[in-house]
Amino acid sequence: MFVRWSTAIAAAILLSGPALLQGAIAADKPTDPQIAHIAYTAGVMDINAAKQAQKKAKNKDVKAFAEDMLRDHEAVNKQALALVKKLNVTPEDNDTSRTLSKQASDKLAELDKLDGAAFDKAYVANEVAYHKAVNGALETQLIPSANNAELKSLLQTGLKIFQGHQQHAEHVAAELK
């Protein structure tokens, strides 16, 4: 059952269409240890993307954006690690995390082939799509499924930050055109 749920997230990220996710099976709930793993994995994805952008980006707004992503996602993941330690929860690897990691490394490889303005544009476009998909997953699946109140609250803070990132990314994308 969990596989169906994770396939829905994977599809949503691929198509960057949160609508698809909303149609996902609400009955299949990930557990807290799985949610923690998915959230952390999603954070690492964007940290790695930002590190790549720091090396490759040419535009100063894109460089600054990558720096902001690195700082915020590292801060969120630091909080997530502190929370799982406090709650004595071991994050549990799962199909969704594995699918996300696979997609992220494919994307890194794809972006690595690009340079200059083409890289800047592709990186920012992917940041918009990534944050849209993550926000959709947080709103419709991860937050409603979380049992622990502190985990839920951290995810809610995360949602607000990532909604901010999405707006920021959309703004940078518009400036590049």
- Residue 113, C-beta contacts closer than 8 angstroms, at least 6 positions apart: none
Considering only 89, 114, 125, 161, the residue that binds other proteins (CB under 8 A) is 161
- In the list 68, 92, 93, 139, the residue contacting other proteins (rule: CB under 8 A) is 68
Burial of 152 (0-12, 13-18, 19+ CB in 10 A): middle
Q: Enter the tokens of residue 17.
A: 């269409």
In this structure, what token pair is assigned to residue 106? 């494919």
Question: Which of the ranges 73-81, 96-104, 125-133, 137-145 carries the binding residues for other proteins, by CB under 8 A?
Answer: 73-81
Task: Find, among 5, 31, 166, 19, the residue nearest to 100 by Cα.
Answer: 5
Q: How many residues does the chain have?
A: 177
Q: Is 46 in the site for other proteins (CB under 8 A)?
A: no
User: Which range in 16-24, 35-43, 107-115, 161-169 contacts other proteins by CB under 8 A?
Assistant: 161-169
Task: Indicate whether 71 belongs to the interface with other proteins (CB under 8 A).
Answer: yes
Separation between Cα atoms, residue 150 and residue 153, nearest integer Å: 5
141 by Cβ neighbours in 10 Å (0-12 / 13-18 / 19+) ranks as buried
What is the closest distance, in whole angstroms, from the C-beta atom of residue 66 to other proteins in the complex? 12
Total binding residues for other proteins by CB under 8 A?
Answer: 15
Taking CB under 8 A as the criterion, the residue among 15, 23, 58, 78 binding other proteins is 78
Binding to other proteins in span 104-123, by CB under 8 A: none
Binding-site ranges for other proteins (CB under 8 A)? 68, 71-72, 75, 78-79, 157, 160-161, 163-165, 167-168, 171
